[in-house]
Amino acid sequence: MAQDILTLKPTNVWKFFHEICQIPHPSKKEQKMGAYLVETGKKMGLETIQDKAGNVLIRKPATKGKENVTPVIFQSHMDMVCEKNADTVFDFEKDAIQPYIDNEWVKAKGTTLGADDGIGMAIALAILEDKEIEHGPIECLFTVDEETGLTGAFALEPDFLKGKMLLNLDSEDEGQFFIGCAGGVDTIATLDYKAEKPNPDMLPYKVTVKGLKGGHSGDDINKNLGNANKILNRVLYHGTYYHDIAIAHIDSGNLRNAIAREGYAIIMVPKYEAKAMEEYVKEFNQTVKNELFTSDAAVEVSMVPTGMPETVIDDFTQSDLVDAIYACPHGVLAMSQNVENFVETSTNLASIKMDDKKIVITTSQRSSVESKKDDAKNMIAALFGLINADIEHSDGYPGWAPNTDSKALHALRDSYVKLFGKEPLVLAIHAGLECGLIGEKYPEMDMISYGPTLRGVHSPDEKLLIASVQQVWDLTVDFLKSIN
C-alpha cells in the first residue's frame, strides 16, 4: 500500500505525506511529530526553531535575486483528529495510519486519514526541500493542538514570525480560497447523579446507533447529517416515558468538533415492557432511515440483550437528562445576512459521556459574529442550568474578518486563473481556522487559506482527492515565482 502512495504525483509531497502517516500525532501528543519536523528541517540545513508550546518554525532563505520579495509564511497544524470505526483495532498513540488508494481518492483503513492537516504539512515540507522553485524568504510554521484547543496558535509569541503574508494550508476544497472564518467556544455541562442498584426483575439491553457519516462540526453542520446523540436520546426519551426503562450507562459521540457518528446506552427494561420496547426500536430504526434517506441512509438503530449492569441512574436525574438532551439544539442556528448560503451561527451536540459519579455533555458553538457566538453559548448554558448542571465554557477563539483587498488573495487568484483558466471561489468558512488567533497576535498579517479537496474529515470516511494535490502544488509553485 505504501508503495502505491509513493508513486503518486507530485512525488515529493506524497513522500512527506507517507512519512507523516508513520508518526502518531494525536492532539496534545504531537511530540514525535515535532521531533520529526525539527530533524527534517535541520537535515535540510535550514534554520529550525521549536517554541515552548511545541510549535515548529523552519526558515528558508530566498533564492538568488529574490531576497527583497515579500516574505511568505506557510502554516499548517501537526495534530490530527483520531476517529476509528468501532470494529477497528487501532492505537492512535502507537500505530501508523494505513493509507490506500481507492480510485481517485486516498483513504485510510478504518480510521481518519489525517490529511487534515497532514497534507498541508507535506506541501510545506516539499516547498522547503525543493531546490528548483524561485521564491523569496519563506517560513513554514507547524502548530500544535489545532483540533482540540488551538493552544499552539494561542501560545505564539508576537516576535516569532518575521513574514507579513501567511498562507494557511488547512482548507478542504481545491479551487476555493478562504478569507474569513467563524470563531468558536465549547460549552460543557456536568450533571451529578445517584447510582442505584438495578431491579433484578428487569432485563438488560444495549441500544446502539451506528452507520452515520459524522463529519466536521463546522464544514458539515448544514448537511442534514444524523447526530448519534440526538437519535439515541429519542430512544431513551421514549423508553423513559412510555416503557419505564432505567438507564445504566451512556457513551455517545466523541470529539467536540465532530458530528457524533455512533453511540450506545445500556438500559434496563421491565419484563412486561420488553417486547413493546423491542418493537419500538425496530420501528424507530426505519423511521430514522426515512428521515435521513438522502443524507445518512446507512444509519442503524438496534437493541439487543446484554449483561446485567452494576448500577443505574436515579429516576430524577434520568428524566432531567433525557429532557435536556431532547431540548438541546443541534445544527444551524442562523444563516449569514451578508454572504449567500453561508452558515453564520451553529451549535454541535458533540458527546455524552458518564462515569460512576457524573454525566458530561459536551457541545460547541460557532459564529462569524462574536455577539451571536456568545448568545449561542449562553442559550446552551441556560438550558442545562435548568437541570442544575455545572456549566463550563472554554476560552474560545476569535473569528477572522475577511479582507477582499488582500495582496495574497490577488496574487493567488492571478496564479489560479493563469494555470486553470477559471476564477476560484473566494469565500468565508464556518469552521474555525488558526488565522483568527494569528491575526490577533499579528494584526498586519495578510492571510488566506486554501488546500486540496478533502471529504469526510474528522471521521473514518476521510478521503483526499489525489488530483487536487497536484493542482495545489502547481498553484503554490506559481504563486511563489510570481509574488513580488
pLDDT at 48 over 70: yes
Q: What is the pLDDT of residue 3?
A: 55
* Whether residue 225 sits in one domain with residue 78: no
Query: Which residues have CB under 8 Å from 11's CB, separation 6+?
Result: none
* Whether residue 192 sits in one domain with residue 177: no
Question: Which of 393, 420, 454 lies at the terminal end of a domain, its last residue?
Answer: 393
pTM of the model: 0.76
146 belongs to the catalytic site: yes
Measured CA distances, 410 to 54, 180, 448, 476 (Å): 33, 15, 10, 13
Alpha-helical runs (H) found in 292-444: 315-327, 370-385, 407-420, 435-441
pLDDT at 339 over 80: no
What pLDDT digit, counting tens, does each position of 197-210 carry?
A: 999 999 999 999 99
Q: What is the mean pLDDT of residues 299-324?
A: 98
Proportion of the chain above pLDDT 70, given as a percent: 99
What CATH number should be reported for the domain holding residue 447? Answer: 3.40.630.10
Q: What is the mean pLDDT of residues 397-414?
A: 91
pLDDT at 297 over 80: yes
Q: What is the mean pLDDT of residues 411-435?
A: 93
* Whether residue 422 sits in one domain with residue 434: yes
Using CA atoms, how far apart are residues 310 and 87, in angstroms rounded to an integer? 25
* Whether residue 297 sits in one domain with residue 148: no
Find, among 185, 194, 195, 190, the residue nearest to 360 by Cα: 190
257 pLDDT tier (thresholds 50, 70, 90) = confident
Question: Which of 346, 378, 393 lies at the terminal end of a domain, its last residue?
Answer: 393
Q: Which domain, by its residues, includes 215?
A: 185-393
Rg of the chain in Å (alpha carbons): 24
* Whether residue 382 sits in one domain with residue 268: yes
Out of 145, 146, 262, 320, pick the active-site residue. 146
What CATH number should be reported for the domain holding residue 362? Answer: 3.30.70.360
Q: What is the mean pLDDT of residues 77-97?
A: 94
Using CA atoms, how far apart are residues 177 and 318, in angstroms rounded to an integer? 47
Alpha-helical runs (H) found in 26-114: 31-43
What pLDDT digit, counting tens, does each position of 131-147 carry?
A: 999 999 999 999 999 99
Out of 79, 147, 186, 320, pick the active-site residue. 79
* Whether residue 21 sits in one domain with residue 170: yes
Question: Which of 368, 393, 418 lies at the terminal end of a domain, its last residue?
Answer: 393
Q: What is the pLDDT of residue 474?
A: 98
Average pLDDT, the chain: 95
Using CA atoms, how far apart are residues 121 and 99, in angstroms rounded to an integer? 16
What pLDDT digit, counting tens, does each position of 58-81 carry?
A: 999 999 999 999 999 999 999 999
* Whether residue 157 sits in one domain with residue 107: yes
Find, among 276, 259, 386, 409, the residue nearest to 323 by Cα: 386
Provide the grid cell at 228: 448519534
Using CA atoms, how far apart are residues 60 and 45, in angstroms rounded to an integer? 9
pLDDT at 2 over 70: no
Using CA atoms, how far apart are residues 362 and 186, in angstroms rounded to an integer? 7
Q: What is the mean pLDDT of residues 148-175?
A: 94
Domain count of the fold of the chain: 2
pLDDT at 1 over 50: no
Q: Bigger pLDDT: 404 or 276?
A: 276
Using CA atoms, how far apart are residues 123 and 282, in angstroms rounded to an integer? 48
Residue whose C-alpha cell is 471561489: 425
pLDDT at 395 over 80: yes
For 404, phi then psi, to 5°, come to: -75, -10
* Whether residue 23 sits in one domain with residue 89: yes
What pLDDT digit, counting tens, does each position of 446-476 carry?
A: 999 999 999 999 889 999 999 999 999 999 9
Angle at 435 between CA 432 and CA 437, to 5 degrees: 90
Using CA atoms, how far apart are residues 448 and 408, in angstroms rounded to an integer? 7
Q: Within 10 Å of residue 206's Cβ, how many Cβ atoms?
A: 17
Contact indicator for 183, 432 with CB cutoff of 8 Å: yes
40 pLDDT tier (thresholds 50, 70, 90) = very high
Measured CA distances, 198 to 122, 277, 451 (Å): 53, 18, 53
Contact indicator for 315, 244 with CB cutoff of 8 Å: no
Proportion of the chain above pLDDT 90, given as a percent: 88
